[in-house]
Amino acid sequence: MFNSVMMAEFEQLLRKGDLNIIDVREIDEFESGHIKGAQHIALGTIPANLDKLEKNKEYHVLCLSGARSAMASKYLAQQGYKIVNVMGGMSAYRGDVEFGR
């Protein structure tokens, strides 16, 4: 089981402190604008990249609109990770972004 937050709540949490963010979009989407500090793990590569994650940390997962992040969140939660799905994704995000990798 995983939790979900709306983008407005996520943006408040982001302003308050350091979050562990996983961006599950494809590399070209990530490079065209992502949240500073977000870790890029494309949805299709998550099973092969579980070694990059720690089960004692909480991760906020996002994509473009929320569909892929919901799939990733379900899978990661089933593997025992603490997951929060960010609904609305980058299409709803109004903060600063970084470009490139």
| Closest listed residue to residue 96, CA positions, set 28, 36, 40, 42 | 36
Paired tokens of 15: 């302003």
Which entry of 63, 77, 86, 87 is annotated as an active-site residue? 63
Kindly tell me the burial class for residue 7, based on how many C-beta atoms sit within 10 Å of its own C-beta (0-12, 13-18, 19 or more): buried
Is 63 a catalytic site residue? yes
Catalytically active residues, by annotation: 63
